[in-house]
Structure 1
Amino acid sequence: MHNLDETLYNQRKINCQPWLRGNEQNNQQELIRNILKKNANAVIDNTAFVAEDANIFTSKLYLGRNSWIASGAVIRGDVHINDNCSVNINAHLAGKIFLGNGCRVASMASIYGFNHGHERIDIHIKDQPITSEGVTLGNDVWVGANAVILDGVEIGDHSIIAAGSVVTKSFPSYSIIAGNPAKRIKDRRKYPLAIFKLEEKHSEIKYNFDMTFNSYISCQNGLCIRGWMSHPDINNIIIKTGTMSHICAINDEKMDIAKKTISSENSQINHIKHGFDYIVELSNIYNIYAQTSTHLIHVADIILEETIDD
């Protein structure tokens, strides 16, 4: 193959598959960024990539870190694309659109953040006002090939829109969406799902729970209670449910306990920071205690608010 033809072939390969791009495209990308800044009111991160044959005619464009727009894509309107997103070959984004971090828009997918007015029948649709509620995709949303998303739709985080779907309404996080008109056919999370709240007992024990409260979490294998307590004299951490007590023995060599000596603020006393990571069965309430040499201290309660079973 003639060298010029091979160069053109390699450039087309990058334009269609931007994940293959290398540093040799940097000069060209700087030129593209400058053209789009001037003509499409674009703010494009230096780590982003725009194919030279992408069709970008925006009133406003933001393209975040490590995001890309591939060959043949059409981008017009007021479009915000956050970090680590991909708009693939011949996708079409028009109107007011917001993509969260990590979104994937597959080839030939269309997202329309506007609509034609059509209420009146005495004049042509083309002569009626344009409306725009906008389309919002949360973080980590995958839009399949040939899917269509219409104006006014919001899609929650971590959702999947199946190829060929026509999405006319909003859906919550973790949805798997398919059909025409699209329906929520499944939840990506493992069941049961549960919401817990934390009730503090205002004890002398310093503590923190590294857990999710007040939103749904998967409890398929039980509830993972994770966090740490800090005190100069703790022998055990005890988790009580309605049926049994779980003793996280500080002095045992157990994988669910980690100890770290720290100095408390404004004190010369060495405290022990006890980290715990313990899975217990699903229960309506978990009473969390710290057992010292002399006392059993009620630290907090974790209370079940709601459960959903598949």
Structure 2
Amino acid sequence: MNKEGFRQQMKNSPRFKRLLDYLIMNQRDARPRWYIRLLAPLYQHRGRGSKIYWSVRMDTPPYRKFSLGRHSVVESYTCVNNAVGDVVIGDYTRIGIHNTIIGPVTIGSHVNLAQGITVTALNHNFEDKNKRIDEQGVSTKPVVIGDDVWIGANAVILPGVTIGKHAVVAAGAVVTTDVPENTVVGGVPAKVIKKL
């Protein structure tokens, strides 16, 4: 059975998935167990010439997809988490120092993320005031970052956002809505500053 078929089988069998989740994920630490992390090179896709620095925290269980394109780099002290959705990174892309990426996230080719950026498709549910927030689970909305995008230091990209091709996100921006192609956005919340 191929990897995609196995992933589909797990999605179709909640009981089997719970068992595998227990065996794969450390429930307290919310990351793959040590023996699963040793096997990561066998189930992660890493393109030719790509590099992930040794200090990167790869929270990538095998039941979700992680793919790093050709000649792409994930810099030191970054955290990549695909436990709730796939993380796909294109070719010739640089993920800067101390970034956090929580799937489902798709990042295009020739993208540059500076330092301290958070890209998250995950949000905690909190609407039911009769339950604690940690009892209400999580929800996800995919994030898509197009090709040839530059994101400045300490920016935050929130769930459901699509950033168009050849866009620039200013340092410190909090992006809550889609960013059109060929624009520069900045501020909290981010707004279009100019068109390119």
Give TM-score, length-normalised by structure 2: 0.75
| Residue 74 (structure 1) aligned to one of 71, 79, 87 | 79
Any idea what SS the aligned residue of 2:115 has?
Answer: coil
Match of 2:41 among 37, 40, 48: 37
Q: In structure 1, the residue corresponding to 2:194 is in which secondary structure?
A: strand
RMSD between superposed Cα atoms in Å: 1.5
1:182 corresponds in structure 2 to 190
List runs of 5+ in structure 2 lacking aligned partners.
1-37
Identify the match of residue 154 of structure 2 among 134, 142, 146: 146
Letter in 2 for 1:116: H
Which residue in the other structure is 1:54 paired with? Answer: 56
Whichever structure has more helix as a proportion of its residues is 2
| C-alpha distance in 2 between matches for 1:49 and 1:108 | 19
Distance across 1 between alignment mates of 2:194 and 2:80: 31
Paired position in structure 2 for 1:64: 69
Following TM superposition, by how much is the alpha carbon of 1:129 offset from its aligned partner in structure 2, in angstroms? 2.5
1:17-32 equivalence runs, <5 A? none
One-letter amino acid of the structure 1 residue matched with residue 50 of structure 2: A
Q: How far apart are the structure 2 equivalents of 1:124 and 1:164?
A: 31
| Counterpart for residue 269 of structure 1 | none
Identity of aligned residues (%): 33
Q: Is residue 119 of structure 1 aligned with residue 119 of structure 2?
A: no
1:243-284 Cα distance to aligned partner (Å, 9 max, x none): xxxxxxxxxxxxxxxxxxxxxxxxxxxxxxxxxxxxxxxxxx
For the residue of structure 2 that corresponds to 1:52, the secondary structure is coil
Amino acid at match of 1:79: V
Higher strand share: 1
- 1:1-310 counterparts in 2 under 5 A? 35-38=39-42, 41-58=43-60, 59-77=64-82, 78-188=86-196
Structure 1 residue runs of 5 or longer lacking an equivalent are 1-33, 189-310
Distance in 2 of aligned mates of 1:171 and 1:97: 15
Distance 1:130 1:166 in 2: 21
Q: Distance in 2 between matches of 1:80 and 1:101?
A: 10
Q: Of the two structures, which has the highest relative contact order with CA contacts closer than 8 Å and spacing of 6 or more?
A: 2
Q: Deviations over 1:89-132 (max 9, x none)?
A: 10110121000111111110000011111211111111112111
Equivalent position SS for 1:126: helix
Query: What displacement does 1:35 show?
Result: 4.2
Alignment size in residue pairs: 154
2:192 and 2:136 mapped to 1: Cα distance? Answer: 33
Query: Which of the two has higher C-alpha Rg?
Result: 1
1:206-239 deviation digits (Å, cap 9, x = unpaired): xxxxxxxxxxxxxxxxxxxxxxxxxxxxxxxxxx
Match of 1:307 in 2: none
TM-score (norm 1): 0.48
